[in-house]
Structure 1
Amino acid sequence: LSPSSSGVNTSSGSFPKSHSSQYSEISVTHTPLSVDQSPDSGILPSSRFRFVSWQRLEESDVKGDQLSCPRVREGPSVEDLFLRKDDIPLERGRRKRREEEGQRWEERLQENWENCVELNLSYQDLGDPFQQENFSRILRRLIRVERLQLINNSLTDLSSICLPRCRSLNLHRNHLTCIRQLPKLPALEHLCLSENSISTLRGLGALGTSPLHSLTLRSNPVNYIQDYRAR
């Protein structure tokens, strides 16, 4: 995990606050996103621990589901990069990998994604296959999430993901090309797909089994097909 995790617990009925300095005022759902700078507002005031991942804090009981916008851009370690180039003897490399895996497991026990109900994983800048793999791993653990924001993550295919309790999903500004690339969403009520690359309505029937109330497809190529609104 990159050293830029920040946020506080948000147990209210609104989307978690965004802690991106560049996008703190952008919200597709027209809900103001702000940063709480109060020193007594929670376990992780952003002014003090803005660039520190929560696993690195000493004497802290913070869990992943207590963060407003955790950064999950985990990439290869220095040892992994060396192992790619065969610069480290095999046995030494295996020993280092075992030690690193033990530490990584301890950190993942703190993530607690299974208990997340509201989560904002926007603007993750997933530029390495390691980061994309870690992002998918976290999405698969969100078995209780109800409101999820995945804005501007360059996502192309989430069809292997299942979000059984998700009622509101925001996929604004990604790289989806069709509705079939969505996760499995049996409880979905509100879906935002604005500013993607969706050019066809094929696969829309898959959402017919969900209690869908609202669907946003603005700024997609599909807006310009004949009888778009009627269909």
Structure 2
Amino acid sequence: CFFKLPSDSFKYLNWHDLEEHDVRGNQLRCPRVREAGPSEEELFFRGEEHTLKKRKQVTETEEWQKKLQENWENCAELNLSFQDLGDLYQVENFNRILRRLIRVEKLWLVDNSLTDLSAIRLPRCKELNVSKNHFTSFKQLPKIPQIQHLSLAENNIMTLSGISALRHTPLESLILKRNPCEFQENYRQLVFSSLPNLKTLDGVPQLPEDCSPPEINFLSKMCAIL
């Protein structure tokens, strides 16, 4: 004999839809961006129409209260990694949350299949981890004027083109391990020459040989003479 769990009717609700609690978004450390719930027709087909009793028309006041409760604007530290963003609703909701993170200082977005966050601005972010995503260029990163520690490990960044966008930031440590650009000639010298505040690259402090300007190859010299 099988019995429905008491929580069964809540499985398609978001945390802020639950009544009688005062948890706010900035108190969550690893929130989950959920998929959109099934339609009413699907619920009836599944025999789960009992979950509909919690669904109701949301008024403007309730929508505003929801935003106040989410309180993403006051998040200082947030982990949105491993979200498995396979649903369009999830992607839209994920980006909506990112746009509201105006005070976040530490943000983890690891392994989310991200390709472009250039429309996102994180004005106070000092530490950003976007490892294991699908970025192909530095130009696809969010605007991070206060960044100090940035991890881009295991993406697909082909060249160092666009890295100059980080030149005027206080970036001190950068991780580019397991990106194609890591195999570029004079890789470390090029990175350090592009980022004057950088102290550590791929976990290795700046070495004396990293300070010398990249050598001009012989062909370039010949072209200059001609």
The alignment yields a C-alpha RMSD, in angstroms, of: 2.6
- Aligned pairs for 1:150-169 (under 5 A) are 150-169=109-128
What's the counterpart of residue 157 of structure 2? 198
Residues in 1 aligned to 2:107 and 2:134: alpha-carbon distance in whole angstroms: 17
Q: Which has the higher contact order (CA 8 A, sep 6+)?
A: 1
Which of the numbers 8, 12, 22 marks the counterpart of 1:61? Answer: 22
Q: Contact (CA 8 Å) 1:156, 1:175: kept in 2 or not?
A: yes
What's the counterpart of residue 168 of structure 2? 209
Instruction: Tell whether 2:121 aligns with 1:121.
Output: no
What's the counterpart of residue 221 of structure 2? none
Residues in 2 aligned to 1:98 and 1:53: alpha-carbon distance in whole angstroms: 13
The alpha carbon displacement at 1:166 in A equals 0.3
The alpha carbon displacement at 1:108 in A equals 3.5
The alpha carbon displacement at 1:52 in A equals 8.1
Residues in 2 aligned to 1:57 and 1:98: alpha-carbon distance in whole angstroms: 13
Q: Deviations over 1:148-185 (max 9, x none)?
A: 00011110000000000000000010110110000001
Whose helix proportion is higher, 1 or 2? 2
Q: What TM-score do you get using the length of structure 1 for normalisation? A: 0.66
Q: 1:74/1:107 Cα in 2 relative to 1: closer, same or farther (>3 Å)?
A: farther
Aligned length: 167
Q: 1:107/1:206 Cα in 2 relative to 1: closer, same or farther (>3 Å)?
A: same
Q: Bigger radius of gyration, 1 or 2? A: 2
Structure 2: gaps of 5 or more residues: 1-11, 44-54, 191-226
Instruction: Tell whether 2:64 aligns with 1:143.
Output: no
Q: 1:164/1:119 Cα in 2 relative to 1: closer, same or farther (>3 Å)?
A: same
The alpha carbon displacement at 1:223 in A equals 1.1
Residues in 2 aligned to 1:57 and 1:152: alpha-carbon distance in whole angstroms: 29
Residues in 2 aligned to 1:127 and 1:148: alpha-carbon distance in whole angstroms: 21
The alpha carbon displacement at 1:79 in A equals 5.2
Q: 1:124/1:225 Cα in 2 relative to 1: closer, same or farther (>3 Å)?
A: same
SS of the residue corresponding to residue 209 of structure 1 reads coil
Which of the numbers 99, 105, 111 marks the counterpart of 2:57? Answer: 99
Q: 1:80/1:213 Cα in 2 relative to 1: closer, same or farther (>3 Å)?
A: farther
